């Protein structure tokens, strides 16, 4: 993996996480409390898996990308524009 690939992994990961977070809101409006609780827990597990399996691995290989992410966030409001 090179740094450009790591950046794209991070971008895709954050897009996926946003979609899953949006799904949580959708489910809250349309599911009963028990179903919602179970589904949101599954979403949280999926988001954690994305972080552990993709983002953390990319940042382990390229630790300087963390500073790049923080800088981008301050400048543009996005982690990896």
What pTM does this model have? 0.84
Please enumerate, as own/partner, the contacts of 64-72 that have beta carbons within 8 Å and a separation of 24 or more.
65/3, 65/6, 65/7, 65/10, 69/10
**Structural domain includes residue 78:** no
Cα–Cα distance, 21 to 69 (Å, whole number): 20
For 5-61, the pLDDT digits (tens) are: 999 999 999 999 999 999 999 999 999 999 999 999 999 999 999 999 999 999 999
Mean pLDDT of 57-73: 94
Compute and round to an integer the Cα radius of gyration of the chain: 15
Instruction: Return the structure tokens found at 50.
Output: 């994305």
**Structural domain includes residue 7:** yes
Residues 6+ apart with CB under 8 A from 36: 27, 28
**Structural domain includes residue 30:** yes
**Structural domain includes residue 13:** yes
Domain that holds residue 14: 3-71
Distance of CA 48 to the CA centre of its chain: 8
**Structural domain includes residue 44:** yes
What's the number of domains the chain is made of?
A: 1
**Structural domain includes residue 81:** no
**Structural domain includes residue 79:** no
């Amino acid at each position: 993996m090179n740094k450009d690939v790591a950046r794209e992994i991070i971008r895709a990961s954050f897009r996926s996480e946003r979609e899953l977070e949006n799904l949580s809101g959708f489910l809250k409006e349309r599911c009963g409390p028990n179903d919602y609780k179970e589904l949101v827990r599954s979403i949280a597990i999926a988001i954690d898996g994305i972080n552990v399996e993709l983002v953390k691995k990319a940042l382990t290989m390229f630790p300087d990308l963390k500073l790049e992410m923080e800088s981008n966030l301050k400048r543009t409001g996005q982690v990896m524009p």
